[in-house]
């Protein structure tokens, strides 16, 4: 039987992995991480935060430039990180880039009292996208509201918005529980008491309402709410693997503020060596044909012991 989680016994998570995998990840140097690149998986470092966030913003521009009336295209974007969003708006305005046939999908949204959080909810992801990016774009270049797709309890409408439109890139960050979007590890229950669900089962999941792992609640309280965990909802809507595999590329951006030095190394190792385990949802991207991990070199840290 697999180990019990060290942080949430009723859940699967990375602390249930074999000790050898965990120790191998902790030993990785930055050069070792770069060496894990392979066909279908690229590891890239940026030496400054300015270059890091500008490169992230340019993925929006490059995706939208490919969109035409006959072949519309877009990008699925995250809320963590957000530093790229004002840069996206600035680039659109400075370049005079019309977004009239471009599309955008939000990755996720909180669920409050059974419904998607409204734009007036302080932690709303749609609110952040609009305030930090889309409301800053000059009206003559702006994207039609019908081309802005945010997940809601109207699941069929959001899911169907992916049909017939190229998702050039799905962009994201990595949470401390090793998720992309809110694809958290599953609960340890039912037929999955002794082993987590197989990757083939996880891959079947589409946009849905999910219960959030305790690590995710604590992380979002820390990064977005000053640690006030009682304000963080316990459920969210999230794009699933089904939508992720419709994206031509998955691009993950890690500046070192959302996950630990160990966590960034662990998923790099697992994707690089195609070790797929649903207790580490990010590892399932080892089967996606085009994944890029982008790191700010100054945020990589070390896994050595430092007493504070």
Alpha-carbon radius of gyration of the chain: 19
Predicted confidence at residue 223, as pLDDT, reads: 80
Q: Flag whether 44 is in a domain.
A: yes
Q: How far apart are CA 188 and CA 5, in angstroms?
A: 10
- Give the residue numbers spanning the domain of 194: 14-299
Q: How far apart are CA 274 and CA 53, in angstroms?
A: 28
Q: How far apart are CA 11 and CA 187, in angstroms?
A: 4
Predicted confidence at residue 197, as pLDDT, reads: 97
Q: How many domains does the chain have?
A: 1
Predicted confidence at residue 227, as pLDDT, reads: 83
Compute mean pLDDT per 10 residues along the chain, 308 residues long, and list them: 94 97 97 98 98 98 97 94 96 98 97 93 94 98 97 93 96 95 96 96 96 92 82 94 98 93 97 98 98 97 83
**CA separation, residue 228 to residues 8, 100, 213, 217, 285 (Å):** 20, 40, 16, 10, 32
Predicted confidence at residue 154, as pLDDT, reads: 87
Q: Flag whether 306 is in a domain.
A: no
Q: Flag whether 50 is in a domain.
A: yes
Q: Flag whether 308 is in a domain.
A: no
Predicted confidence at residue 229, as pLDDT, reads: 86
Q: Flag whether 238 is in a domain.
A: yes
Residue 109 · residue 126 · CB < 8 Å: yes
Residue 152 · residue 237 · CB < 8 Å: yes
Residue 140: other Cβ atoms inside 10 A: 9
Q: Flag whether 6 is in a domain.
A: no
| E strands present in 177-283 | 208-211, 235-238, 250-254
Q: Flag whether 160 is in a domain.
A: yes
Predicted confidence at residue 104, as pLDDT, reads: 98
Q: Flag whether 198 is in a domain.
A: yes
The domain spanning residue 173 has which CATH number? 3.40.50.1360
């Amino acid at each position: 039987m697999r180990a019990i989680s060290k942080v949430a016994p009723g859940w699967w998570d990375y602390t249930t992995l074999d000790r050898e995998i965990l120790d191998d990840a902790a030993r990785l140097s930055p050069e070792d991480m770069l060496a894990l690149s392979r066909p279908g998986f690229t590891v890239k470092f940026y030496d400054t935060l300015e270059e890091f966030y500008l490169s992230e913003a340019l993925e929006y521009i490059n995706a939208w430039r490919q969109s035409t009336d006959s072949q519309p295209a877009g990008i699925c974007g995250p809320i963590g990180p957000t530093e790229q969003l004002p840069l996206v708006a600035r680039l659109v305005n400075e370049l005079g880039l019309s977004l009239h046939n471009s599309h955008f999908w939000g990755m996720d949204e909180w669920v409050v009292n059974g419904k998607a959080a409204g734009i007036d909810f302080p932690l709303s992801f749609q609110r952040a996208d609009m305030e930090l990016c889309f409301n800053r774009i000059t009206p003559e270049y702006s994207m039609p509201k019908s081309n802005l797709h945010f997940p809601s309890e109207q699941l069929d409408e959001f899911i169907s918005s992916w049909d017939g439109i190229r998702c050039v890139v799905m962009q994201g960050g990595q949470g401390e529980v090793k998720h992309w979007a809110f694809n958290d590890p599953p609960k340890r229950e039912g037929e999955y008491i002794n082993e987590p669900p197989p990757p083939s089962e996880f891959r079947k999941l589409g946009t849905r309402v999910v219960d959030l792992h305790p690590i995710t609640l604590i992380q979002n309280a820390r990064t977005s709410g000053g640690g006030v965990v009682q304000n963080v909802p316990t459920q969210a809507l999230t794009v699933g693997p089904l939508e992720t595999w419709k994206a031509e590329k998955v691009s993950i951006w890690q500046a070192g503020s959302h996950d630990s030095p160990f966590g960034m190394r662990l998923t790099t190792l697992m994707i690089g060596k195609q070790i797929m385990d649903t207790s580490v949802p990010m590892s399932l991207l080892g089967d996606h044909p085009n994944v890029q991990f982008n790191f700010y070199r100054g945020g990589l840290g070390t896994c050595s012991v430092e007493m504070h």
